[in-house]
Structure 1
Amino acid sequence: MTTPAAQTAASLRAAGRAPAQPFAVALGDGRELVLHRILRLLPGKRIVGEAELADSRVLAKLFIAPGSARHWQREREGIAALAAAGIPTPALLHAGELAEGGHALLTDFLTDAVSLAERWQAVARLPAGHSDALAVLAPAFAMLGRLHMNGLVQDDLHLGNFLVRGSRLMVIDGDAVRALTPGQPLQADAASANFAILAAQLPAGWDEHLAPLIDAWRQGGEGLPALDPAALRAPIAHTRDARLKDFLAKTRRDCTLFKAEKTFERLTIAVRAEAEALAEILAAPDAAIARGSLLKDGGTCTVAKLEHADRPLVIKRYNLKNARHALSRAWRPSRAAHSWVEGHRLAFLGIATPAPLAIIEERAGPLRRRAWIINAWCPGQDLATHLAPYIDSGPPPAEAEALHTLFATLHRERISHGDMKATNLLWHDGQVVLIDLDAMQQHRSAASHARAWRRDRARLLRNWPADSALWRWLDANLPPA
């Protein structure tokens, strides 16, 4: 067995995103901690991973920044506050300095625990308010009620910070736990604001189903204040908008989720978890297109499907027709970059679209030239083909529900597609999947969206004969123009 390399806080900072694994660090009390697998990493700041101390498996949080003491102490105090309130959380095993700078905090490693976020994935596509989805969410809101009953708030509320172990729910991430009124229930304004953070993690359709979530929250104790669903909608919407804005900003830069590399001649951004697998395509996208099968080869774009690493992908290259076209595109964000952001916007909002995996832009300094986007392949059938048998009867129940859900969500979010051809709507796995996002836009004003929606609506209806039952169903069930 290879002996783990000895590291210090300084060497781990210098390693950035790529510390060699496994590695060993010396604790301040002389014991050696061996970290076998990194689970989360904030370069130069914090490393979280599965580790071993004296033959015991632990979850290790290493605070390696020069000013790490503040965050380490806050995490320690948060865990202590949870324990004092009787809130289930992994047991704290050790909190202390590293031998050569930095700090460590060790807790139980729960091998048989799953996050509530994982449980949610199985029910996330169910309609808002569905009993199976509520069964997953209710324990988190009940646990939040227990926190609030004891005067605690969690400032980084999301389903990933709740662990399920057997029938027991636990709260993690003590760094975000604060005691506002220790031992006393929170006041209504503080409770509402913190409740809104958790509710904002859900699709906006849940804003109409807050009552059962509030009922679950009130299970935390009889001393909790009353919450008004109507009054909660504004702070929930504000928090959700802020989350979306923050997430979309990350899609444009190097961070935990995305890998970005920029030179004078090129910009490449990829989903970090996909970057290694896509490296060959990112290095030579035209060669990848050449070995794929062409789906479209026009003046403005070329689209190909290819198999790569036993996975079907789609590459779309945005071409430059002539010098005038090249000049007109040079100063604007590329169409690939626009589609990249909009694809991630849809995914964030829970709207089905093929996963955007990477983009490439040819550049000459600030000037953009050709660009490519790589997406996952969706094997669905376009709606023109799929709904052809139902022109005289209207869509079947599953398709009708999916169409209603999609367009109600797009309308609520003020999103216009810009090219609502039936071939840009695919039926797959019980959902209507949107593709070709070049002209997609989320509008700031209701008036701007209304104009765009009228165009989208009219274009969608033109896909079918105006005297057909399908056309009449769509006209009656789409949001009005």
Structure 2
Amino acid sequence: MAVLPPVSVDTLLADRAPALPAVLQLPSGDVVLRSLLRFMPERRAIFSGERADGTAVIIKVFSDATRSRQEFDAEKKRLAILQARKVAATRVIAEASFPGGAVLLLSHLGEQSAKDCLSQGKEKNVGIALQLVALTAEMHDRGLIQKDIHLNNFMRYRDDWHVIDAGAIECQESSITGSKALENLSLLLAQFPPLSLPVASDVAKAYGDRFSSREISQNLARVRRKRLRSLVKKSLRDCTEFQRVERGVLAGMCRREDLTAVEALLAEGVDASLLQGECLKDGNSATVWRAAPGAETVVIKRYNLKSLTKRLARQFRSRARNSWMNAAFLNLVHVSTPRALCWLSEKQGPFVGREYLVCANVNGKMLPELCEQGGVEREQALKQMADFFATMLLMRFSHGDSKYTNFLFVEGELQVIDLDGMVRFAGQNLEKDLASQRRRLFESWRPRESLAPAAMKEFDDFYQARLKTIESWL
């Protein structure tokens, strides 16, 4: 067996991509670090690994900065409080301090976070939501509140939910009540796929009927808007998920996981890839082509400057950037769209020139084709379209152009495309706008026009049925 290299705390905190696996030497025994779970520059890093006896552990590494030392002390203190107040949580196995920082060794509670469990079906999601609402009520009763509450901070271990990331827990002697408790409960509910929540009355009951269904519903809508605005803005700055890219006159944002593919595209030249690719649309306002600059085939949309008026408008509003942010928004509201790898803007002196949006290539079928085929595929496609429109109503956004060509069914799953005209936070006319878009979905089905009336009626039946399941949240 190969001998793994030792690594220092300083090294682990210096790079988002450390060489792993590696050995961290602690007074309590060596620990093998296998994978990086989270990295906060100059503050802390979290790894999974195991001790010499094979016991799986979580390794939290803190820098020697004042703030990090405070976080190290707070984590230990709050884990002790959780244990004293009988809330199931990860436990401290060992700790160590070094000249360059400190380390906490925590029990590993497995790989099943609440977020990981959500993909197992709506019925299961309802159960998870009610269980976590009840656990949150229990924590509030015991004077505990997760300030940064999210689904990755709850782990399923031996059939019970456990709390992790104790550093983000606030402790007080009295119970958490009133607006502070309602805000925290709403933030928990905002993490769930919007169509998968239990009815509001069941949520109120699981929390102990301390808030009415109406209070919970109204506050959730407000918290959702605030949360979405904040998280969408993260797509425009360096963070765990996104990274700024620059090469020559081009600059923009990419997904950190797609950096290698984006760098390959930039090295080849974005426009040069058109010569080797397949042109899908060559218009005045936009040119679209399919290319394979690396291992993955992508679709590139170039936003052209067809007139002086368009050039002037580009200085104030970027369609490419808006589409990039819209893709991030759809991911947050659990609507599938082809993965946006990057958004790029061309600088021409002090002015913005052409822009680019690069997305993963997907191949699928459109709604008229599936309706012609009939059977289960037709029914599932119409149900998914109904769910998409219900999601737009509930989450208060509008696609803007719901012609059938903007929806692809990839292996039976809906993918929403062409996000240029999407409005993320719609106004009072949303209901009227969505009614128009529902009609638009079934227009111009040439040569399958005869299928549209029956499909529209069945779609509307599914849509009305879906609205009944979410009416307590509308």
TM class, shorter-length: 0.7 to 0.9
CA contact (8 A) 1:140 1:159 kept: no
- Of 269, 273, 281 in structure 2, the residue corresponding to residue 288 of structure 1 is 273
State how far apart, in whole Å, the 2-side matches of 1:169 and 1:301 are.
50
Match of 1:114 in 2: 112
Deviations 1:352-380 (CA, angstroms, capped at 9, x unpaired): 32221212222135522122212122322
Would the alpha carbon gap of residues 90 and 259 (structure 1) be closer, same or farther in structure 2, given more than 3 Å must change? same
- Work out the CA distance in 2 between the residues paired with 1:149 and 1:330: 53
1:92 aligns with 2:74: no
Amino acid at match of 2:81: A
Aligned match of 1:273 in 254, 257, 267? 257
Residue 308 of structure 1 deviates from its aligned partner by: 6.2
Normalized against structure 2, the TM-score is what?
Answer: 0.84
DSSP 3-state at the match of 1:196: helix
> Is 2:2 the partner of 1:4?
no
* Counterpart pick for 1:245 among 204, 208, 229: 229
Other-structure match for 2:406: 424
Distance 1:358 1:378 in 2: 16
Aligned partner of residue 441 in structure 1, secondary structure? coil
**1:39 maps to which of 12, 37, 40:** 37
Give the one of 278, 286, 290 matched to 1:301.
286
Matched letter for residue 99 of structure 2? E
Whole-Å separation in 2 of the counterparts to 1:4 and 1:366: 49
**C-alpha contact 1:268 1:282 (8 A) present in aligned 2:** no
Q: 1:366 to 1:260 in 2, by over 3 A?
A: farther
Structure 1, 248-257 or 146-155: larger mean CA deviation: 146-155
Q: Which amino acid aligns with 2:330?
A: L
In the alignment, is the contact (CA less than 8 A) between 1:303 and 1:316 conserved in 2? Answer: yes
Instruction: Evaluate the alpha carbon distance shift between residue 366 and residue 203 of structure 1 in structure 2; reply closer, same or farther with a 3 A threshold.
Output: farther
Q: Is the 8 A contact 1:163 1:172 kept in 2?
A: yes
Q: Deviations over 1:412-438 (max 9, x none)?
A: 333233333221122344444321111
Q: 1:88 to 1:271 in 2, by over 3 A?
A: same
- Decide whether aligned partners of structure 1 residues 47 and 366 sit closer, same or farther in structure 2, where only a CA change above 3 A counts: farther
Over 3 Å counting, the alpha-carbon distance change for 1:96 and 1:215 in structure 2 is: farther
- What is the alpha-carbon distance in structure 2 between the residues aligned to residue 454 and residue 114 of structure 1? 40
Query: Which of these residues, 298, 302, 306, is aligned with residue 313 of structure 1?
Result: 298
**1:193-208 alignment runs, 5 A limit:** 193-205=183-195
* Two-structure CA RMSD over aligned residues (Å): 3.3
Deviations 1:101-136 (A, max 9, x none): 3222211234x442121111232xx4xxxx332233
What residue in structure 2 maps to residue 361 of structure 1? Answer: 345
Q: 1:312 to 1:135 in 2, by over 3 A?
A: farther
Q: TM-score, normalised by structure 1?
A: 0.83
Q: Structure 1: how far apart are the matches of 2:34 and 2:266?
A: 30
Shift of 1:173: 0.7
2:441 matched to 1:460?
Answer: yes
> Would you say the 8 A contact 1:319–1:371 is kept in 2?
yes
Q: Number of residue pairs matched? A: 456
Query: Residue type of the partner of 2:115?
Result: A
3-state SS of paired residue (1:316): strand
Choose from 125, 135, 148 the match for 2:127: 135
Shift of 1:65: 5.3
Alignment partner of 1:66 is 2:65: yes
Distance 1:237 1:302, change over 3 A: same
Contact 1:336 1:373 in 2 (8 A): yes
Residues of 2 paired with 1:170 and 1:107: CA distance?
13
Structure 1 residue 402 and structure 2 residue 384: aligned?
yes
Change (3 A) 1:381 1:348: same
Kindly state the Cα deviation for residue 458 of structure 1 after the two structures are TM-superposed: 5.4
Offset, 1:341 = 0.8
SS at match of 2:288: strand
Distance 1:397 1:34 in 2: 51
Query: Residue 222 of structure 1 corresponds to which residue in structure 2?
Result: none
Q: Which moved more, 1:406-415 or 1:449-458?
A: 449-458
Contact 1:264 1:364 in 2 (8 A): no
